[in-house]
Amino acid sequence: MTNKLISLAKLKVGMSGVIEKIDEALLPHNIELEAGELERRLLEIGIIEGVHVKVLHFGLIKKDPIALQLNNGEITVAIRRNEAEIILVNQSIRK
């Protein structure tokens, strides 16, 4: 398996990986939040580097939002596809 990082937004339902990097500089569009805020909110809800993440469900329209399982089922959170762009996962690490 390759060691390439892939954006969480590109994963399909059922795929998983370990979060390697969260960087709001990757955001394709502007948001109304101050610098660092989006990253901080993701971190606070538990989406952090080193955490194992699995894609559980997509919404109906444009596969948005995305439900994620963190830490092998410790919690389930939902975020939007837009924000998932800034989360890079490494699929080669198995937990």
Partner 1 sequence: MSVSVNVSGGISLDNSKHLRVALVGKPNCGKTALFNALTGSRQKVANYSGVTVEKKHGYFKTPENTLVTLVDLPGTYSLRSRSPDEKVTRDVVLNQFKEEKPVDLIMAVVDATNLSGSLRLVLELKQTGIPLIIALNMIDLAKLRGFEYDIEKLSSLLNCPVIPTSAVKKSGISNLVAEVDRHDQLETTSNRWQEPDRDMVREYHKEVHSIIRSIETRKGMPSLWSARLDKLFLHPVLGLFILLTILFCMFQAVFSWATIPQGWMQDTFDSLQAHVAALNPNSFLVSLVANGIIAGVGSVIVFLPQILTISLFIILLEDTGYMARAAFLMDKLMGGVGLHGRAFIPLLSSFACAIPGIMATRTIENRKDRLVTILIAPLMTCSARLPVYTLLISAFIPVKTVWGFANLQGLVMFALFAAGIIFGLIMAFIFKTFFFKGDRQPLMLELPSYKAPNLYNVLLELIKPAKSFLRRAGTIILSVMIIIWFLSSFPLPPEHATAPAIDYSIAGIVGKFLEPLFRPIGFNWQIVVALIPGMAAREVAVSVLATIFALSGTNDDVIREGLTVILQHAWTLPTALSLITWYVFAPQCISTLAVAKRETNSWKWPTIMFIYQMMLAYLMSLAVFNLARYFIH
Say if CB 43 and CB 20 are below 8 A apart. no
Number of residues that bind partner 1 (CB under 8 A): 41
Under 8 Å between Cβ of 84 and 17: no
Which 22-81 residues touch partner 1, going by CB under 8 A? 30-33, 36, 38-46, 48-50, 56-65, 67, 69, 71-80
Q: Which one-letter amino acid corresponds to residue 72? A: N
Which residue intervals of the chain are DSSP H helices? Answer: 37-45, 81-84
Nearer residue to partner 1 within complex by CB, 2 or 14: 14
Which residues sit at the interface with partner 1, rule CB under 8 A?
Answer: 30-33, 36, 38-46, 48-50, 56-65, 67, 69, 71-80, 82-83
